[in-house]
Amino acid sequence: MKKIKIIELASVLAGPSVGQFFAELGAEVIKVESPKTGGDVTRSWLFKGEKRNGTVSAYFTSVNWGKKSLSIDLSNKEERAIVYKLVKNADIVIASYKSGDAEKLGVDYETLKALNPQLIYGQITGYGLDNPKVGYDAVIQAESGFMSINGEQGANPLKMPVALIDVLAGHQLKEALLVALIERMENGHGKFVQVALIDAAISALVNQGANWLVGQNEPKSMGNLHPNIAPYGELFSTKDGRQLLLAVGNDKQFKNLCRILEISDLAQFSTNQERVVNREGLNEVLSGKIELWASEELLEKLVHEQVPTGLVTTVKEALDQGESHWFLKTDGLTGLRSFVASGFDRLSLSPPPQLGQHNQEIIDALD
C-alpha cells in the first residue's frame, strides 16, 4: 500500500478509521480539515478534566495516526483548487458528508472523477445518499434495535459505550475500497462506493436478526445471557471476589467444565438445548461450585481443558497488560492500531497531526 495516496474528507470516527487503516499499511493519507470549524469536530471532544495537546484531543488520536493535516476552506475556490491538484494523483477519497454537502463544496464523486477517472471514492452516510438526516452512532444504535437488546432484562434500553456502529461501518468501507482497488487492477476503472451507518448496523444484528427472521423469536434485552447458548455470558463470583465469565459453546466443553467443578448430575443439562431451557437451575449449580475456587487457580484449569472463560477486567487493566502489537507509540504518545492482523509489516506512524500542521509541506510539493 506504500504507493497508495488517499485524500480524507471525513471526520468523527467511521471515515477517519479507514484513513488510519490505510496509513498503517503504508499509504500516504492527507486529512483535509476546515479552519472555519476548527477541523475535525473530535478535536474538541474532551473528557472531563482533559487538557488538550494543542489542537489534538484524546478522542481525535483514536483514529488519526499517520496522517498529514491540510487545513483549507473548501468553499473558497482558490483553496479548493489545492484539493483538485491532489486528487489528480490520488487513488482514494474518503468522505463523510451528509446528502448534498459534497456537491455544494465541489468535492463530490462526479466532480472529482472528471479530474481523475481512476479515482475510487468511498463515502460514509447516515441513512444513504437520498436521506439528508444526520446520522450519529447513538441514534443509529437506537433505531437499529441494538439498544433494545442491550442491558439487563427488563431495564431501559442501553447504548453501548463504544461507537460500535461507526467502527462497523468503517470496516464495511475498508472492505468496499479494497474490492474496488482489486477491480481497478482488473479493468482500470474508478468507482463510487458508499456505506450507510444504518445498513452497517442492521447487517451486524447477525444471529439476533436471524432469530426473528427465521424463528419469529423477537430479540430482547437479557443482560449477559445468550438467547441460543448456555452457559454463555453468565458471570460467576469466585472465592477471592473476582468475576469469571463462561462462554461454553458445545457439549464437550460443558463436560470438561463439569469434571473440573465435580458436577456429576447432568440429567437436565446434557445438551445445549436443555441448558438453555433450564438456565436458572444450571446457574445455581455453577454458582455454588465456582464460589469455592480462587479465580486464578480455576482459570488455569479451565484454560488447560479448553473451556472458554475469562476474568472481567477494566479497560485500564486490559491495556496495561496488553500485547505490544496492539499499540502505536511515538514522542511519548501511545495509541491503538486499527489493523491488528498478523503477516504484515507493523509500521511506525507519525502522531496524530495538529490542525494544518502540514499545509506548507503539502502545498510546496504541488509546485
For 215, phi then psi, to 5°, come to: -105, -5
166 is catalytic: yes
C-alpha cell of 214?
427465521
Active-site residue, selected from the candidate residues 40, 137, 166, 199 = 166
- Residue 246, strand partner residues: 309
Using DSSP's 3-state secondary structure scheme, residue 192 falls into strand
Who contacts 111 (Cβ-Cβ below 8 Å, separation ≥6)?
103
Instruction: List Cβ neighbours of 136 (8 Å cut-off, separation of 6 or more).
Output: 126
State how beta strands 28-33 and 5-9 pair. parallel
202-208 LR contacts (CB < 8 Å, sep 24+) = 202/144, 203/168, 203/172, 204/164, 204/165, 204/168, 205/144, 205/145, 205/146, 208/145, 208/149
241/323 Cα distance (integer angstroms): 26
Q: Are 363 and 46 in contact (CB under 8 A)?
A: no
Return the exposure string of 312-336: e unless at least 16 CB atoms fall within 10 Å of the residue's CB, then b: eeeeeeeeeeeeeeeebeeeeeebe
**CB distance 75 to 37 below 8 Å:** no
Q: Tell me the catalytic residues.
A: 166
